[in-house]
Structure 1
């Protein structure tokens, strides 16, 4: 063959790649490669340790006897493929959980053969998804799950809670609701906060809960020191679990709120002058700790308190995890059965709770199983409101003043007048010093009250803002009727 008849190496590689892989781009412009008939997709520019598309091509070219090519030829071929893929239609890639066709949901088992669980309105089954329906993206945090067992008759849930130390059945049903919520990609779920005395097995219970979804290789992590590292960890997995929290900074609290309900991070793309990198994320979050100190009101509405107690009989770690690994297929099968059953249950959506999707899921769980998940969820939120009030002297002072108001009474003043009144009420006759963080201006007071508004409303005190022709005002209103006491649950 003459030199003129030889194809350049880059053309040989590009032709080979396009015959064996499907190339597409996501909405943010990242180009992915997906082996024909296989649901896992890899970004073609990835150099990660989980295997890059460049490595796939090198191995395939060598094993198929086509040859070994230098880096320049591979780079030129990938540049061409990337340019061609940018003209194709976009498709979304998913980590662990994905929506499918006809109301179905997919769960990635993390297996090399691509087998996944399809949860549909009439049941669930195990199959390899059509690449046009689901594209999985995997990272180092994507662990392998065992094949779930069929026809478990719900015994897997009992086996799971036998290994945990939750204080009562109400707490267990909230944990069940959270696990079911983790299998729904479009529903934000509150973050379970596993708390209890020292030695209650909070970290162990947290590991058991997340490993049902993320596999035996997943583990708890320390809270990152900055938001960028936290977002990177969140974006690389599905469930993020932070262990042994003892203090929560305002920045960490705000970041957790964004993780639970969803947000987007925009950063400058590396090695560019004006391009940006977008990262959207909304993930299930799990926390453990004895006490995190003051909880901010916006985070309190996104938490799910799960209390544990110290076990009466201790077991070795080896014995405990050996039993857990043995029952995990049964637990996963029971969770899938429960998910199908709950999704088929009809229930009204509570309209007074911030996390309305999760409240509706709790109502469905009650309708399907006859449990008190919704009342337990309300009781947990009420308990968290108490924690917010106990940690905020301004909230305590406002409620102290409102205690002397008559039902239906309204008090309207400017923010500066409210600041003077509340400061004098807190200081008292002995003029005790004001605490650190006490509002120093009317604007600061107004902003603090806006943050506390849902917490105060839960205690029957309405706070509103308005203005007259002369000035803006803040209005406190004591409702005419006493709010009905909520059903209590032990936490």
Structure 2
């Protein structure tokens, strides 16, 4: 055969690729490849250490007798494949958890054969999902989960709680609610903060909760130094777990708020002048630490404190994790059974809490099991409000002034007038100097009060803003006390 009659190498590669792989693009324009019949998708431009599509093609071509091709031929073939895929319909890729059809959700077990768990309204099954319904994206943070056990009769929940050092039954039911929330792709869940005295097993307990969702390779990490690295770690996995936090600066606090409720980061694409790269993320977040100092009010509404106590009997790491790995299939099976029961339960949606989806999940858990998850969640938020107030001198001063207001009365002043009055109240007869961080202008005071508004409202102090023809004002009021319930009517004596 003459050289003119030979098929170019790029065409051989492209034909082989379209015979054995399905190509599609996501909404951000990234092109992915799926081996026929398998749900796992890899970006065709990735050089990732979890196995790239380029490597898949090279190995497949060699084993099927097509030979070895140089880098130029592979690049030209991938350029053609990418251009053709840009005309295909878009499809989303998911890490660990994905929505399905007919109200079902999927849990990726991280297995090479693609087997996953389909959670549907009537139960759960272990299946290989249709690639056109679910596309899994795998990274180095995607660990393998064991096949969940059937017919556990809830035994796995008891085994898990026996290994954790939770301080109370209320803490246990909140941890269960969080685990169930992690199996929902569209439900934002508050971030558990495992706290307690030194030696209470906070890091160990955090690892156990993470490994139920992420497999035995899941682990805790130190908080990154900057927001960009934090976002990169969050986007590459499902549950992000930060260990041994001792301080939450404003930037890290704001980033955590975005992780819990969802946000998007836009960066310039590499090797381009005008293209951008979008990273959207909303992930379950978990933290451990003895104390993180002052908590900002917006983060407090997104936290879920889980207190642990010191164990009375110590065990070796090897013994503890060997037992946990042994019971993990039972724990996962029991959690899936409980998830199906909770999703089927009918409960009213609490409308007074910011994380309404999680509050609704707690109410459903109560209906399904009789636990007091919603009451415990409200109590935890109340405790966090106390933490915010104890760490904020301005909030304490506002509450001190509000105590002198008549219930039902309103007090209006400009921000500068409020700053003068609150500063004088703090100084008192001893003429104390305002602490570091005290507002220095009316504008700063107004901004601080906006952050504290939900916390103060939980203590019966309402802050509002308005303006007259001449100036803006800040209004402080205390709502009137609710009228007492009328006494029950006496029942008529039975004849």
TM interval, shorter chain, is: over 0.9
Per-residue deviation, residues 7-63 of structure 1 (Å, max 9, x unmatched)? 100000000001100000000000000000000000000001000000000000000
- The answer to whether the 8 A contact 1:460-1:483 is kept is no
Structure 1 residues 482 and 289 mapped into 2: Cα distance closer, same or farther (>3 Å)? Answer: farther
CA–CA distance in structure 1, aligned partners of residues 280 and 376 of structure 2: 32
- The answer to whether the 8 A contact 1:98-1:106 is kept is yes
CA–CA distance in structure 2, aligned partners of residues 404 and 312 of structure 1: 48
CA–CA distance in structure 1, aligned partners of residues 483 and 67 of structure 2: 77
Cα distance, 1:441 vs. partner? 0.5
Runs of 4 or more off by more than 3 Å in structure 1? none
Aligned to 1:320: 320
Instruction: Indicate yes or no: 2:168 matched with 1:168.
Output: yes
Residues 41-52 of structure 1 aligned to structure 2 (within 5 Å): 41-52=41-52
Instruction: Indicate yes or no: 2:107 matched with 1:107.
Output: yes
**Larger deviation: 184-193 or 423-432?**
423-432
Tell me, what secondary structure is at the counterpart of 1:277?
strand
Aligned to 1:440: 440
Aligned to 1:39: 39
CA–CA distance in structure 2, aligned partners of residues 85 and 178 of structure 1: 39
Instruction: Indicate yes or no: 2:395 matched with 1:395.
Output: yes
What TM-score does the superposition give when structure 2 sets the normalisation length?
A: 0.97
Residues 305-316 of structure 1 aligned to structure 2 (within 5 Å): 305-316=305-316
Cα distance, 1:430 vs. partner? 1.7
Residues 312-351 of structure 1 aligned to structure 2 (within 5 Å): 312-351=312-351
Aligned to 1:192: 192
Residues 372-383 of structure 1 aligned to structure 2 (within 5 Å): 372-383=372-383
Number of aligned positions between the proteins? 484
Aligned to 1:450: 450
Cα distance, 1:409 vs. partner? 1.1
Residues 65-76 of structure 1 aligned to structure 2 (within 5 Å): 65-76=65-76
Residues 217-236 of structure 1 aligned to structure 2 (within 5 Å): 217-236=217-236
Cα distance, 1:5 vs. partner? 1.5
Structure 1 residues 483 and 402 mapped into 2: Cα distance closer, same or farther (>3 Å)? Answer: farther
Cα distance, 1:429 vs. partner? 1.7
CA–CA distance in structure 2, aligned partners of residues 49 and 305 of structure 1: 36
- The answer to whether the 8 A contact 1:170-1:372 is kept is yes
Aligned to 2:256: 256
Aligned to 1:153: 153
- The answer to whether the 8 A contact 1:246-1:293 is kept is yes
CA–CA distance in structure 2, aligned partners of residues 176 and 432 of structure 1: 47
Aligned to 2:133: 133
What is the Cα-based RMSD across aligned positions, in Å? 0.8
**Larger deviation: 475-484 or 422-431?**
475-484
Cα distance, 1:2 vs. partner? 2.1
Tell me, what secondary structure is at the counterpart of 1:101?
coil
Aligned to 2:302: 302
- The answer to whether the 8 A contact 1:460-1:482 is kept is no
Cα distance, 1:431 vs. partner? 1.2
Tell me, what secondary structure is at the counterpart of 1:343?
helix
Cα distance, 1:80 vs. partner? 0.3
CA–CA distance in structure 2, aligned partners of residues 77 and 250 of structure 1: 48
Instruction: Indicate yes or no: 2:83 matched with 1:83.
Output: yes
Tell me, what secondary structure is at the counterpart of 1:112?
coil
CA–CA distance in structure 1, aligned partners of residues 307 and 92 of structure 2: 38
CA–CA distance in structure 2, aligned partners of residues 239 and 37 of structure 1: 28
Instruction: Indicate yes or no: 2:462 matched with 1:462.
Output: yes
CA–CA distance in structure 1, aligned partners of residues 175 and 75 of structure 2: 49
Residues 279-290 of structure 1 aligned to structure 2 (within 5 Å): 279-290=279-290
What TM-score does the superposition give when structure 1 sets the normalisation length?
A: 0.98
Cα distance, 1:210 vs. partner? 0.5
Tell me, what secondary structure is at the counterpart of 2:102?
helix
Per-residue deviation, residues 419-458 of structure 1 (Å, max 9, x unmatched)? 0000000011221111111000000000000000000000
Tell me, what secondary structure is at the counterpart of 1:450?
helix
Cα distance, 1:3 vs. partner? 1.8
